[in-house]
């Protein structure tokens, strides 16, 4: 018996077949699309910083006291703009000023003393030269008289000998012979006196020259001592002036006082104690710290980065674009410093300021999901092998990827 609904059943079967066919076709298309994406897609790999903050491109200067002292003037105010050389703090230098004035007076009194010594040295040198010449002339004259007396003595002695022979022969009277002998005796006495006079003149000359030369040496030593005292006093003056200069703490650079110590007149400061921090004017940069195992060999200059500022949710304010400028080659405590340059297209809603904390994310590479899956599997196998070799006491991470590494 023919089924009265056969045509309806046939139509229903055809509709089910078409629906199933389209379902399979859709599933195959989705799998194919996923496969294309899995093997051919370009997914960015991002490394996240441990810490980051905005800093001015110039070096921030920390100003401290160079000397111990009591504050007399304080011009430290937060956010005050200063120029290079502006006075920030003045310390009490009254005692140093008094000592400096006394040292300058001692210094001023030395050149006149040296001038007086120079005059005496000049006079003494000239008198010594003239005295030497005069005494040499006197000595020459005394020696000439002595030679003349010796010559007369020789002649008289010869005359006495001749008269002695003549007296024996009776040719000369005894009175004449005695007169000649008396004259010879007088000449011998005169010769001896002149001989002693020459020695006395020579001795006086030596004593006078010795005294004058001793005085000359004493004056020379005194002059050298005064010159050495000038050097010492000049060093003392320089030291006191340096202390006075250091009693005024000046701004080394132009900028803004970002942090100041609670210093008021009367406060006693210690050398090296921090007074203020000067933030120079200039462009901002980002200084970030990345784990060394993720940064070294992967982060390079020129790579794009994204900055998310603390206190400004990125979902509302957006992010700031940046570029890697430089990467430190030596890790410190397992962290590598990376400097980034901010892009000129920062959101106007985010006020960028020195010292703002942030999180930096650097795109280190772009790979396919298939490669990422293979990496994750390799990391998982490495962790399992490590657990098997060291024992159960060493825990494994929850996932194959690092918490500082993300995939976008």
Angle of helix 369-390 relative to helix 6-40, nearest 10 degrees?
Answer: 70
Domain assignment of residue 12, yes or no:
no
Domain assignment of residue 162, yes or no:
yes
Domain assignment of residue 314, yes or no:
yes
Name the residue among 319, 339, 316 with its Cα closest to residue 328. Answer: 339
Domain assignment of residue 69, yes or no:
yes
Same domain, 81 and 107: no
Find the largest Cα–Cα distance for the chain. Answer: 226
Same domain, 210 and 102: yes
The domain of 174 spans 95-245
Residue 331 to residue 388: CA distance in whole angstroms: 30
**CATH number of domain containing 102:** 1.10.287.1490
Q: What is the mean pLDDT of the chain?
A: 77
> Tell me, what's the pLDDT at 165?
66
pLDDT band at residue 393 using 50, 70 and 90 as cut-offs? very low
> Tell me, what's the pLDDT at 391?
46
**Residue 344 dihedral angles phi and psi, to the nearest 5°:** -75, -10
> Tell me, what's the pLDDT at 384?
60
Task: Tell me the whole-structure pTM to 2 decimals.
Answer: 0.54
Find the range with the poorest average confidence among 2-6, 218-222, 296-300, 368-372. Answer: 2-6
Contact 90, 315 (CB under 8 A): no
Same domain, 50 and 151: no
From 197, 223, 245, give the residue that closes a domain.
Answer: 245
Domain assignment of residue 190, yes or no:
yes
Contact 401, 373 (CB under 8 A): no
Domain assignment of residue 26, yes or no:
no
Alpha-carbon distance values, 72 to 148, 247, 278 (Å): 91, 10, 21
> Tell me, what's the pLDDT at 228?
92
- Give the number of domains in the chain: 3
pLDDT band at residue 5 using 50, 70 and 90 as cut-offs? low
**CATH number of domain containing 320:** 2.40.30.170
pLDDT digits (tens, 9 = 90+) for 83-96: 888 888 888 888 88
Residue 198 has pLDDT above 50, yes or no: yes
Q: What is the DSSP letter of 79?
A: T
Residue 3 has pLDDT above 70, yes or no: no
> Tell me, what's the pLDDT at 399?
38
pLDDT band at residue 279 using 50, 70 and 90 as cut-offs? confident
Name the residue among 310, 307, 335, 303 with its Cα closest to residue 321. Answer: 307
> Tell me, what's the pLDDT at 352?
83
pLDDT digits (tens, 9 = 90+) for 99-109: 999 999 999 99
Name the residue among 283, 286, 365 with its Cα closest to residue 324. Answer: 286
Same domain, 258 and 389: no
> Tell me, what's the pLDDT at 401?
45
Most confident of 24-38, 63-77, 99-113: 99-113
Same domain, 187 and 271: no
Residue 380 has pLDDT above 80, yes or no: no
**How is 149-180 classified by DSSP, letter by letter?**
HHHHHHHHHHHHHHHHHHHHTTSS-HHHHHHH
Residue 143 to residue 288: CA distance in whole angstroms: 103
Identify any residues that bridge with 255 across adjacent strands, giving them in sequence order: 82, 280
pLDDT band at residue 137 using 50, 70 and 90 as cut-offs? low
**How is 238-255 classified by DSSP, letter by letter?**
HHHHHHHHHTEEE-SSSE
Domain assignment of residue 208, yes or no:
yes
């Amino acid at each position: 018996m023919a089924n009265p609904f056969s045509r309806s059943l046939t139509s229903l079967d055809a509709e089910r077949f078409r629906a199933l066919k389209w379902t399979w076709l859709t599933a195959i298309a989705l799998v194919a699309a996923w496969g294309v994406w899995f093997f051919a897609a370009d997914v960015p790999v991002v490394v996240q910083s441990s810490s980051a903050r905005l800093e001015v491109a110039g070096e921030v200067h920390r100003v401290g006291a160079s000397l111990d002292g009591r504050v007399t003037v304080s011009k430290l105010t937060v956010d005050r703009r200063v120029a290079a050389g502006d006075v920030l703090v003045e310390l009490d230098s009254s005692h140093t000023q008094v000592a400096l004035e006394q040292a300058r007076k001692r210094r001023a009194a030395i050149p006149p003393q040296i001038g007086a010594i120079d005059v005496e040295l000049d006079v003494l040198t000239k008198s010594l030269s003239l005295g030497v010449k005069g005494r040499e002339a006197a000595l020459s004259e005394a020696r000439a008289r002595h030679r003349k007396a010796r010559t007369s003595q020789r002649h008289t002695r010869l005359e006495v000998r001749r008269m002695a022979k003549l007296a024996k022969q009776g040719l000369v009277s005894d009175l004449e012979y005695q007169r000649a002998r008396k004259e010879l005796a007088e000449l011998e006495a005169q010769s001896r006196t002149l001989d002693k006079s020459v020695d006395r003149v020579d001795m006086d000359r030596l004593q006078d020259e010795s005294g004058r030369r001793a005085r000359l040496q004493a004056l020379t030593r005194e002059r050298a001592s005064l010159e050495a005292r000038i050097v010492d006093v000049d060093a003392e003056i320089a030291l006191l002036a340096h202390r006075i200069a250091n009693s005024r703490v000046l701004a080394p650079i132009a900028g803004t006082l970002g942090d100041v110590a609670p210093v008021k007149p009367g406060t006693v400061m210690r050398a090296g104690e921090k007074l203020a921090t000067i933030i120079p004017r200039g462009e901002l940069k980002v200084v970030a710290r990345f784990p060394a195992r993720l940064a070294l060999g992967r982060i390079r200059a020129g790579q794009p980065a994204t900055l998310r500022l603390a206190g400004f949710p990125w979902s509302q304010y957006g992010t700031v674009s940046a570029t890697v400028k430089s990467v430190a080659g030596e890790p410190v405590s397992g962290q590598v410093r990376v400097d980034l340059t901010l892009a000129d297209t920062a959101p106007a809603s985010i006020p960028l300021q020195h010292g703002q904390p942030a999180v930096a994310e650097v795109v280190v590479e772009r790979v396919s999901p298939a490669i990422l899956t293979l990496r994750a599997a390799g990391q998982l196998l490495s962790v399992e092998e490590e657990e098997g070799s060291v024992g159960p006491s060493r825990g494994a991470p929850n996932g194959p990827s690092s918490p500082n590494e993300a995939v976008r």
